[in-house]
Amino acid sequence: MEGLSPVDGWAVFAISAKAAGYAAALVAMGGPLFIATFREAPEEVLRLARRAAALAALLGLVVLALRLGIRSARISGIGLAGATDPMMLGLVWDSPLGTAALWRGAGEVLILGLVFRSTLTLAGGVLGALLVAWSYTQVGHSLGEPRWLLASLLGLHLLAAAFWVGALAPLHRAAGRVEGVDLLHRFGIIAGGTVAALVLLGLTFAWLTIGSLGGLFGTAYGWMLIVKLTAVTGLLGLAARNKLRLVPALAAQTPSAPSRLRRAIRLESVVVVLILMATAALTTITTPPANL
Amino acid sequence: MKTIIFAAALTLTTSALLAHSNSNETTPQEGAIVETVEVIELRFDMPMRITVITLTGPEGEVELTRETGLEPVPEFRALLPEEVVVGGYKVDWRGLSQDGHPMQGTFAFTVGD
């Protein structure tokens, strides 16, 4: 398959760590976005959003350090010993991953502040979310041409994804409460716009990096993208069902609605994990057709 | 079956040469039979920082003298010792592309008459 890099144990480890880093970043970014958007939500839900974001930011920092070591090991060719080799680590730090790590680390530290409830920490958290999104535009496939268009598409795609992924835990909590209906309903209305933007931004990015049907069906990148889009389609189906059937059922106080909605949100989280794994594989072991 | 697996593995690894910083140019060329060899060269479309390069011959690893340092370059060079024995050789390299991706590749050639 054209454009597929060698897949060894370290590559699999790198993909898993990157996917964990994505999940942590999206939940961390999504928390402040959620709190800033739904300031009227029940306090218990907002508290969960703050805690989840701070915990994810902490996890993100750990994964970031781990990823620098993994990359160092991969370029050293000597396995585990290469993970702590000062020279190899220095080279990784000098690469775009080092630049991205600085921005992402700063953003995640700001989001950590959300453990304290105040307008100041929320403003810091929102700034942190923007920094984390920015960090992803400093590394990888978005460094291709047209540079600023790709970077803008990716940054906004990530913010839209974070708004959704970061809302899953708080919405799960809200689904179990009668007063959560208003929040779920409002989220459904806003998400209608942000999810459409998420998909359009992602598809435009993909079109720019793939460029042709041959690129889509003739390369490893294209096939991995098809895997991702299949999972995304499933996620959109679940979201539509929640919005059109389960949230109205909750509003109508159907007895089974809370548990069905909560189960559907948990299932959404599982599909999100699959999407992030596919994305991590896409950005780790495959090359965009535009670069071939 | 082994041949198929080997061919598939070879396809996978040579494809890495194409990834991110395009390269299908090496000296000696992949699969070449040469009388002698003095230098290993890797050429890329975009600068590549080569972190490790090893040459394995019939008598084990051959010591290479890097002419190119650790800076990102479009063309990497490493010199062989003056005497090279006849037989099959394999080059393995790893590096970092400009966009920060870890890269690796391998190619083989034969020294013979």
Name the residue ranges covered by the structural domains of chain A: 9-291
* A88/B96 Cβ within 8 A: no
In contact, A242 and A188? CB cutoff 8 Å = yes
Distance CA A130, CA A132 (A): 6
* A88/B104 Cβ within 8 A: no
* Phi, psi for residue B47 in degrees, rounded to 5: -55, 140
Best interface-test mutation with A: which of B101, B103, B107 has the largest number of A CBs within 10 A? Answer: B101
Q: B interface toward A at CB cutoff 8 Å?
A: 12-13, 15-16, 18-20, 22, 49, 51-52, 54, 70, 92, 94-96, 98-104
Of the CA atoms within 13 Å of residue A170, those in its CB half-sphere come to: 33
* A100 inside 8 A of chain B by CB: yes
* B100/A95 Cβ within 8 A: yes
pLDDT at B24: 61
pLDDT at B113 over 80: no
Could you tell me the pLDDT band of residue B4, with boundaries at 50, 70 and 90?
Answer: very low
CA distance B38 to chain A (A): 24
Which regions in chain A score pLDDT beneath 70?
none
Residue B99: domain span: 2-111
* A291/B19 Cβ within 8 A: yes
In contact, A45 and A180? CB cutoff 8 Å = yes
Distances from the Cα of A122 to the Cα of A27, A35, A106, A167, angstroms: 15, 8, 15, 16
CATH number at residue B45: 2.60.40.1220
Q: What is the ipTM of this complex?
A: 0.80
In chain B, the number of structural domains is: 1
pTM across the whole model: 0.91
Could you tell me the pLDDT band of residue B14, with boundaries at 50, 70 and 90?
Answer: very low
Could you tell me the pLDDT band of residue B7, with boundaries at 50, 70 and 90?
Answer: very low
In contact, A74 and A11? CB cutoff 8 Å = yes
Of A231-245, B4-18, B45-59, B80-94, minimum mean pLDDT range: B4-18
Could you tell me the pLDDT band of residue B99, with boundaries at 50, 70 and 90?
Answer: confident
Of A138-152, A197-211, B3-17, B50-64, minimum mean pLDDT range: B3-17
* B15/A1 Cβ within 8 A: yes
